[in-house]
Amino acid sequence: MVGGGVAPLGCSEPDICELQKMYLLPSVRGQGLAKKLALMALEYAREQGFK
């Protein structure tokens, strides 16, 4: 249904993270799922100390 990946950034700012890609099957697009997942990822990142 969805896919993604995580990798460390070669960034000098340890409190910065980046969501680079999110993949959804065409059958689940248009339902607001990507937005919900992105908001959940942002919330989790903040909980982990990222800005």
pLDDT of residue 49: 86
- Give pLDDT tens digits for 32-46: 999 998 898 888 888
pTM, two decimals, is 0.72
Residue ranges per structural domain of the chain: 1-46
- Give pLDDT tens digits for 19-30: 888 888 999 999
Distance CA 37, CA 7 (A): 18
More confident residue, 1 or 18: 18
Output the six-digit token pair for 21: 């890609």
